[in-house]
Amino acid sequence: MTRLALRMGVTAFGGPAAHIAILRHEAVAKRNWLTEQDFLDYISLANLIPGPNSTELIMHVGAKTGGRRGLWAAGAAFIGPAALITLIFAYIYKRWGSSPTAEGMLSGIAPALIVVIIFTLIPLARTAIKSRWAVALAAALVLLYVAGINELLLLLIGTLAYLVPFAFKTLKDRTLAFAAPLLMYAAAAEQPGPSFLRIFLVFLKIGSILYGSGYVLIAFLQRDVVNDRHWITQQQLVDAVAVGQVTPGPVFSTATFIGYQIGGLGGAIAATIGIFLPAFLLVWASHGFAARFRTSKTLSHVLDGLNLASNALLIGVLATLIRALDLTAFNVIVASLALVGLASRRVGPTTVLAGAALLGVVWHGL
């Protein structure tokens, strides 16, 4: 399993959905390491805990095939190459990011990234927002996000509010599950200076509380490192997300890029360890509970609430990115081409972003 995880860390482009498809083919259909039911159980279990879902799924398969050592080895093998590749991009960006070629690439990626997020969001939102109550709740959460309410608080509010129609009497007990993330947030909170410890704590907090698609990571980064601490700019965040998209492995390797921009090599290491450490610990702690979670109606409702709140945050992020993008002819052209490409289903997000970067270089050169 470690060799498979290493190969996926080097070659698995396309984000979590692609990672899950590849892993199922290799571990279930091709090698029979686990059954279809085992695989579905581990997907559900990964969805019930915060962190990068496809990375956690690889850790679960590693634990299934190799025990505790298999869990840590598979996770490290998948994360390591992606973090290293992203670190190289981060160095190039920091040294030559203001060159005409780099500026052209990034100017092309920005509008295409918005379209990629939209196409990722549509199927997720269809799954997560299932009723009129869910639609109203999601709309309220989006407005609260745009108004500046903290993401962790919105996740808590959204999850608890979603549970109201199902079982109001159970809410008191379930709020205890949020105590650890709240304490983590308090520890990471405040001093604005980007020391290695503070970088580690901020990304540790994000890794401890982030549910849903890897794109929800943008919402937390936007608030924590752009708006609140001003460690990077809005443009650097967009560029970091773009780099995370065009490199293989987990989207969370975006943290490596941002950590490097904030604090060099030490910052990159601190951010990478911080954001991925909770996933290792949570998978280790929860690996044996797949069957119980699968049969629990209460946990199923909790998961639905978390998914709804996460998608609402993603819609809020999308609104923020659109608002920050200038309505120029070039941006409209790139977004339109990205829309056509993704709608045709003949190209994936990686190809779209690479093509947009090339268009940006050509346009900038003209």
How distant, in Å, are the alpha carbons of 43, 65, 208 from that of 69? Answer: 20, 10, 22
Render pLDDT for 342-356 as a digit per residue (tens, 0 to 9).
888 777 776 787 788
**pLDDT for 275 beyond 90:** yes
- Per-residue pLDDT, 92: 85
Render pLDDT for 302-319 as a digit per residue (tens, 0 to 9).
767 877 887 787 788 788
More confident residue, 77 or 322: 77
**pLDDT for 179 beyond 50:** no
- Per-residue pLDDT, 58: 93
pTM above 0.75, yes or no: no
Whether residue 210 contacts residue 188, with contact meaning beta carbons closer than 8 Å, is answered with: no
Q: Which residue has the tokens 């990304």?
A: 203
Q: Where are the beta strands (DSSP E) in the chain?
A: none
Number of Cβ within a 10 Å radius of residue 136: 12
Number of Cβ within a 10 Å radius of residue 11: 11
Q: Which residue has the tokens 């919402």?
A: 219
The H or E element containing residue 244 is helix 234-246
Output the six-digit token pair for 299: 């946990």
Average pLDDT over the chain, rounded to whole? Answer: 80
- Per-residue pLDDT, 113: 79
Of the given ranges (44-48, 134-138, 163-167, 325-329), which has the lowest mean pLDDT? 163-167
Burial class (CB in 10 A: 0-12, 13-18, 19+), 146: middle
**pLDDT for 237 beyond 50:** yes
Who contacts 307 (Cβ-Cβ below 8 Å, separation ≥6)?
Answer: 47, 124, 127, 128, 211, 212
Domain count, the chain: 1
Residue 176 DSSP label: G
**pLDDT for 177 beyond 50:** no
Query: Mean per-residue pLDDT for 225-243?
Result: 86
**pLDDT for 172 beyond 50:** no
249: amino acid identity, one letter? G
Taking the C-alpha atoms of residue 208 and residue 188, their distance in angstroms, rounded to an integer, is 11
Taking the C-alpha atoms of residue 167 and residue 336, their distance in angstroms, rounded to an integer, is 45
More confident residue, 78 or 249: 78
Whether residue 286 contacts residue 263, with contact meaning beta carbons closer than 8 Å, is answered with: no
- Per-residue pLDDT, 174: 40
Whether residue 256 contacts residue 86, with contact meaning beta carbons closer than 8 Å, is answered with: yes
Render pLDDT for 112-139 as a digit per residue (tens, 0 to 9).
878 877 887 777 677 778 788 888 888 8
Q: Alpha-carbon torsion 246, 114, 330, 93, what sign?
A: negative
Whether residue 282 contacts residue 51, with contact meaning beta carbons closer than 8 Å, is answered with: yes
Who contacts 314 (Cβ-Cβ below 8 Å, separation ≥6)?
Answer: 117, 121, 124, 212, 213, 215, 216, 218, 219
How distant, in Å, are the alpha carbons of 53, 99, 133, 266, 342 from that of 116? Answer: 19, 25, 27, 31, 8
* % of the chain at pLDDT higher than 90: 18
Query: Mean per-residue pLDDT for 6-17?
Result: 77
- Per-residue pLDDT, 291: 58
Query: Mean per-residue pLDDT for 47-59?
Result: 84
- Per-residue pLDDT, 294: 56
Whether residue 310 contacts residue 155, with contact meaning beta carbons closer than 8 Å, is answered with: yes
Of the given ranges (101-105, 322-326, 359-363), which has the lowest mean pLDDT? 101-105
Query: Mean per-residue pLDDT for 141-170?
Result: 75
More confident residue, 38 or 100: 38
Q: What is the dihedral of CA 38, 285, 213, 66, to 10 degrees?
A: -50
**pLDDT for 339 beyond 60:** yes
Question: Which pLDDT band holds residue 261 (cuts at 50, 70, 90)?
Answer: very high
- Per-residue pLDDT, 320: 79
Task: Give the residue numbers spanning the domain of 54.
Answer: 2-365
Number of Cβ within a 10 Å radius of residue 118: 17
- Per-residue pLDDT, 203: 92
- Per-residue pLDDT, 293: 59
Whether residue 291 contacts residue 274, with contact meaning beta carbons closer than 8 Å, is answered with: no
**pLDDT for 176 beyond 70:** no
Taking the C-alpha atoms of residue 19 and residue 249, their distance in angstroms, rounded to an integer, is 8
Who contacts 324 (Cβ-Cβ below 8 Å, separation ≥6)?
Answer: 234
